[in-house]
Structure 1
C-alpha cells in the first residue's frame, strides 16, 4: 500500500493535527487538469494535497482539500464508529496520554474513553479535523 487518502475541509488544520500526532509533512501539491478529471471521473478538478509520512517512513496519509468541485457529503458529517466503509486510521503511539493532550489542542475529542485491552494495549478513538476518526494504541505489554 502506498497511502490512504482523506478528504478534508481545512487542509491547514488537518496538517497541524497530524503533525501534532507525530507525522511529517512530505510535500504539498496542487492537483488539477485533464489527468485528475479522468482519474477521478469528475470535471474541473482543482484540489490541494498534503502528503504526510509516519516517522518510520513506512506509512503515508494523503490529505486532500477539493476547491472544485466542492467535497460531497453523502454521509452524516460525524458518522458513528460502526458506519460502513473506511472511516478511521489507527496509529501506534508511545505515550497515549501525551498524544491525546497534544491532539486536544488541535480540536480532537475522545469518542468514548481510554480503554485497556488485557495487559497488552491502552486504546482510544478521537474525532479529528473534518470528522476523521483516529484510533490510538499504546502497547503496554505482550499480546496473549
Structure 2
C-alpha cells in the first residue's frame, strides 16, 4: 500500500481569523494554530523567506482536517481565484450537514455566497455550493435518507 490516509486539505486565505471563524461556524473544531518559517518551509514551498500563520480544523468525527494558511511573506501579487465550479483545478471541499438551510443562514454573515441554487437530487440529498474564504467552493450536502 502506498497511501495510509488522506491527512488534510489546505487553502491559502488572506484573513486567517475570518477563515477560522467560517469553518468553526460550519462545525469544524479548531485543533491549533502556529507560524511556520525557516529553511524547511522555504524548501517545502519553493519560495524564499516564507512566513505563514496556519490553523488546523478537524471535522467532528475526527477523520478529516482543513488547514488554512495566511502567508505574511513573500507577499503575492495575484488575487484569489473566483472561477466557476467547472474550471479544472478549482478547489472544492464538500461536507455533509444536518440542516442545509440552517447552515447557509449561519454562514452568510461570514461571507458565504450561494454559487447557484440548492438542488435536490431525487430522494437522496439536497446539495448546494457556497463560496467560502478566499473564494474556495464549499459543497454542502444534506442527506435525505
**2:133 corresponds to:** 129
What is the alpha-carbon distance in structure 2 between the residues aligned to residue 105 and residue 26 of structure 1? 23
Secondary structure class of the residue paired with 1:28: strand
How far did 1:96 drift?
0.5
Residue 56 (str. 1) matches residue 61 (str. 2):
yes
| Contact 2:95-2:140 within 8 A present in 1 as well | yes
TM-score w.r.t. length of structure 1: 0.93
Give per-residue Cα distances to partners, 1:76-121, cap 9 Å, x unaligned. Answer: 6311101111411000001101100000111111011110011000
Which of 94, 99, 107 is the equivalent residue of 1:95? Answer: 99
Task: Please say if 1:79 is aligned against 2:100.
Answer: no
Q: Deviations over 1:19-59 (max 9, x none)?
A: 00000000000000000001111100000000010011100
Q: Counterpart of 1:32?
A: 37
CA distance in 2, matches of 1:53, 1:24: 5
Cα distance in 2 for partners of 1:54, 1:60 equals 6
Runs of 5+ unmatched residues, structure 2: 1-5
Q: CA deviation at 1:72?
A: 5.7
Tell me how large the CA RMSD over aligned residues is. Answer: 1.3
- In structure 1, C-alpha distance between the alignment counterparts of 2:135 and 2:8, rounded to whole Å: 19
- TM-score, scaled relative to structure 2: 0.92
Residues paired across the two proteins, number: 140
Any stretches of 5+ residues in structure 1 without a counterpart? Answer: none
